[in-house]
Each structure stands twice: as structure tokens, then as C-alpha cells.
Amino acid sequence: MMTRLRNKIAVIGVFALGCFITFVVLTVNDVLKNIVEDQIKEHTKLKLNSEALKNWKDPPVPVYMQFFLFHIENSEEILQGKQAIVKEVGPYTYKEHRHRSNVTLYDNATITSTMHKSFVFQRNMSVGDPRVDHITTVNIPFVAVLQSLKQSGMAQKMFLSILFSLKSSAMFQTHSVEEFLWGYEDPLLKLGHKLLPSVFPDSRFGLFYGANGTDDGVYLCSTGKKDYMDSNKIITWNGQKSLTWWASNTSNMINGTDGASFHPLIKKNEALYIFAPDICRSLHLIFEKDVHVKGISAYRFIVPKEMFAIDYLNKEGFCPAMNCQLSGVLNISICKQGVPIFISSPHFYGGDQKLVRDIGGMKPNMKTDRTFLDIEPMTGFPIRAAKRMQLNLHIEAVDYIAQTGRMRTMILPVIFLNEHAVIDDKSAVKLKWALQIMKIVLYIPYVILGAGILLLLISLSLAFVMCSCKKNKEYTPVILKVLNIKSH
């Protein structure tokens, strides 16, 4: 009887030891962690016929673009030198349909493609009908032409001023929201196009003119085959088209694809970089807090408040080219054919108070004005994002151009965008499952360790019981009954 018990104790002890050895092997060599990482790698790599490639071509996550326009309430007074007063009108919401085509995979772990976006109006998510609603705003083609003749002589300017009035081109103009966004024929551009087609390639103008259904050039990305950390990373991007200045690719920050160099295993103390062609370079984001989106835990990364601050821009090397002067705005005229465009956060959030004070009707708000990205840290999947940016025009009076009156020099807000996306329910469920499985897999060593400890305790108590049985043969301890070992 005692030998049988001793054998059982030995067997249990061996199992316990086995558990400890397995635990050590699994944890020291990170075996399971590597398996999980391999799985993530497999799923993020872009390769022929993979689901990753399919989702990359036609991202399943719905993206919405919202436009908020600044209607100028006192254009006559502005020309007399008064402060500008604006009224925010919006949102006008469009669903973005994204599709990549001309996809070619190369042997050197790169892929080229073009990204097409089309915008479909969503009446139920908008304040009104963009064909009906009209707004008054600064005449951008006019400002562009003014800018180009700043250095001209008095006679030329006076002549042009007369020409402008013949063409009834004024500093401020009223258009429907649809025209303003998607294009209208401008009399000045039409004339320019007739006379100098090389300088004026088009007679139409709109902030997003030509952006619907077209692509914004060829992206060359890494497939992640060599180093999965590079999956989807943009290597080059070209073909910034001339008149679609602001419109071109505002963001691709959702779902890790070419907007960003996202990679798995995101850390809170490391900045993320997002490719942002509209400001001619990449943006960096920093960790803010933990958030939950559709049951998935994520890290929120935000554009630092000082994003457009002078010290920051200086440090990042923007300043010499972009001529920084005020905190909170970035002069991007250098990448917009010299048109004096300045970008900022909506309502100059986080910028110099002077910017806000100069314009009547600006109310910065942290909640609605900040750009953020919620990202699942283990896989690096972006699960919610909002990109918010405001476009402003630097305007000033020009001598001998009657249309500019006695206007103050100012940075006048024109429009702000809120491009946002949240993971769709189907992908959220899929991702949640994958994360659960990964977590369970990563817990396996600890379960094994727990089992080892339990078995060790059992064998120790059996050994203890065995010793006491030797002393007292009359007594049958409960544990022996349980294990069905008879002491007689």
C-alpha cells in the first residue's frame, strides 16, 4: 500500500517538475510571444491573395469627411479696416469611399499603388443642402493672383485693379457650399487660362476641385516582407497635383495603411509618425491616455498642443522654409504654389491668443478641435481617429489695388475639416477575438506554472500524510479517501 502511494507521489512530483521546466523554457525563450508576433506579422504583411492585401485595397472602415465653413458676416466693414466677424457653418458630411488601384508587388518587398477617394454627401449628417446654402468667404483665386503681382509696379497694379473690376472680381465672394468645395468657374481664372494656359491650367476653382474619384499620385510602400515593422510604410509619394492643393490626401491614418508607419507593439513612451502630405511632411503624435472603443482597449495618441508652436516648429526644422512668425499657424505657401495659405488647428486651438482675438467668432475647444488616433497597442491597428485641421488665408491690403480697400493684415479662417473614422463592427469583433486568443496564448505559461505549484503542493501533502500514516495506522485521512487509496 505504502509503495503504491509512494509511486503516486513520485509521478505527481515528476509532473510538477515538468510544469516548472515547461514554464521556464516558454518564458525564457519567449516561445509563445514569438508565435503571437509571427501571427501578427503574417496578418500585417501585404502579400498576394492575402486578407491584408484585400483590406488594404478596399479598407472596410468607413471614413467621414466633415466640412465646417466660416461665413464672413461683415465683408464691407473689413474693407474699411474693421475686425473680421465670422460665423461657423457646418458640418457638411461626406462619406469617403477609398480604393487602391494599379497595385503592383515587387520582388524587393515594395508595392506601388494609387489611392482613389470619392466623396458621397450624407444629408442626415449635415446641417443643410450644399447646393442651396450659400456662404461668403475670401476669394482665393483673387488672393493668389494678388500675391503673384505683389512685386509689380504701380502702373501694372492700377491696370489690374481696373481689370478686376471689369471681371467683377472682389476680395470676398458668395458661392454655394457645393461650388466652393467642388468647383466653379472663376472669371479671373478663365481669362488667365485663355491668355496664359501654362500659368493658369484651369478656369475652375474649388477647395476640393478635382479631388472626387481621382487619385493623388503613386505611393511606393514597403510590404513588410523584410521587416514587418515596416509594413505599409510609405517610401515615396509623388505627383502632388497642381490645383488640388489642400484637397490632396489629407490623411490615411486609419488602419495602419500608407498614412503611417504603424507597427505592432506600440509603446506609450514612443511617438508615432503620420505621413501628412498636406503640410509637406509627417506629423508626430504622443500618448495621452488609455481609451476603450467598441470593447477594445486602446492608447490615445494626440498631436501635441504645441504642434504649431514656433519653438516646436523650429526644433523640427520647419522654420527656415516656412517663415514662422506666430505660434499656432503654419505657413505652407511654399507647398501651395505661393498662395498664402496657413494651416492651424480648428479655431486656432492651442495657438497664439492674438489669432483668436483678431477674428470675431472663434471659440477654441479642446474636445472638438484636436487631432487624435486611438490605436490597439498589441497589433498596431488604428481603431478610431479624427484629423482636424483649419485652412486660413493670410490677407493684407495691396497698394493701388482698390479691391483690397483699407483692410487690416490678418490670418482669416476659411474652412476646417474633421476627417474621422471608427472601426466597423465586423472588424471590431474580429479584432477582439484575435486579441482574446493572443492573451490566452500569452497566459499559457502561467497556467502551466500554476498547475506545477498545485501538483507540488499535492505531492508534498501526500508525503506528509504518508509519514503520519506510518505513525498512526488506524487513521485514514480524507485525502487518501479522495485518491481512492486504502490504508488497510
Ligand X SMILES: *[C@@H]1O[C@H](CO)[C@@H](O)[C@H](O)[C@H]1NC(C)=O
Interacting residues with ligand X (CB under 6 A) = 43-44, 51-52, 55-56, 60-61, 106, 108, 110, 118-121, 182, 212-213, 235, 255-257, 321-323, 325, 331, 333-334, 340, 381, 383, 394, 423, 427, 431
What is the torsional sign of CA 266, 250, 102, 122? positive
51 vs 474 by CB, closer to ligand X: 51
61 vs 389 by CB, closer to ligand X: 61
121 vs 273 by CB, closer to ligand X: 121
Smallest distance from ligand X to CB 17, Å: 41
User: How far is the C-alpha of 89 from the C-alpha of 129, rounded, in Å?
Assistant: 12
Cβ count within 10 A of residue 262: 24
65 vs 362 by CB, closer to ligand X: 65
Smallest distance from ligand X to CB 258, Å: 10
User: How far is the C-alpha of 108 from the C-alpha of 93, rounded, in Å?
Assistant: 40
51 vs 76 by CB, closer to ligand X: 51
* Nearby residues of 88 by Cβ (< 8 Å), 6 or more positions away: 68, 69, 70, 71, 361
397 vs 449 by CB, closer to ligand X: 397
User: Which residue spans within 106-159 are E strands per DSSP?
Assistant: 110-121, 134-138
Smallest distance from ligand X to CB 416, Å: 18
385 vs 423 by CB, closer to ligand X: 423
143 vs 448 by CB, closer to ligand X: 143
Smallest distance from ligand X to CB 445, Å: 27
Phi-psi region of 90 (alpha: psi -120 to 50; beta: other; left: phi over 0): left
Smallest distance from ligand X to CB 213, Å: 5
Smallest distance from ligand X to CB 409, Å: 8
Smallest distance from ligand X to CB 3, Å: 59
User: How far is the C-alpha of 311 from the C-alpha of 424, rounded, in Å?
Assistant: 39
93 in helix, strand or coil?
strand
User: How far is the C-alpha of 421 from the C-alpha of 403, rounded, in Å?
Assistant: 42
Residue count of the chain: 488
In angstroms, what CA-CA distances link 292 with 55, 209, 296, 376, 388? 23, 37, 5, 10, 21
Smallest distance from ligand X to CB 97, Å: 8
52 vs 84 by CB, closer to ligand X: 52
CA 439 to centroid of chain Cα atoms: 27
* Nearby residues of 389 by Cβ (< 8 Å), 6 or more positions away: 250, 278, 343, 344, 345, 346, 371, 416, 417
Smallest distance from ligand X to CB 485, Å: 54
User: How far is the C-alpha of 220 from the C-alpha of 214, rounded, in Å?
Assistant: 18
User: How far is the C-alpha of 389 from the C-alpha of 345, rounded, in Å?
Assistant: 5
Nearest by Cα to 183 from 155, 205, 211? 205
